[in-house]
Amino acid sequence: MSVEVVFYHLLHKPLELALPELLQKCLERNWKVVVQTGSQERCNALDAHLWTYQDDSFLPHGTKADGYAEHQPIYLTFEQDNPNEAEVRFLVDRAAPPALDPYKRAIYMFDGNDQGAVDEARTRWKEAKSAGFQIAYWQQTEAGGWERKA
């Protein structure tokens, strides 16, 4: 089975608003997820955010500090580990990807207002294409939804 590599181009809503929606969709499909950030600080900030991003709900998740990583439906890390044996890997904040072969889906979320992030996403696109992965590209609409562009 080929890995599907999906690019989400953030333009109007920040990662903190867009990521929880996509994580919820993964949980609805009973997919385990790893979210890899670019730094420990960002990992800690997302950890706190996912507990409080909505007044009436939260996303169940954990980090290395919480223990029981293998039982977490969403595992947050700044490393290339996959202790919960996730099928889906999110890469945010220009995190350096591990080998993507073990995943059903790899998702790059990048800030379209950061030229360095856009350039890096183009590089990751070329890498994924040359590896023979299925590729999709979604661009954020002004309303915060997603429009498939490729």
CB-based contact 28:81 (threshold 8 Å)? no
Q: How many domains is the chain partitioned into structurally?
A: 1
Distance, CA of 33 to CA of 85 (rounded, Å): 8
User: Global pTM?
Assistant: 0.95
Q: What is the torsion angle, in degrees rounded to the nearest 10, for the CA atoms of residue 33, residue 62, residue 8 and residue 103?
A: -20
Tokens representing 52 are: 């409080």
pLDDT tens for the chain, 150 residues long, are: 589 999 999 999 999 999 999 999 999 999 999 999 999 999 999 999 998 888 887 889 999 999 899 999 999 999 999 999 999 999 999 999 999 999 999 999 999 999 999 999 999 999 999 999 999 999 999 998 999 998
Tokens representing 140 are: 């954020």
Bridge partners of 5?
106, 135
Tokens representing 57 are: 């709900």
Residue 127 belongs to a domain with what CATH number?
3.40.50.10110
Domain coverage including residue 42 = 4-148
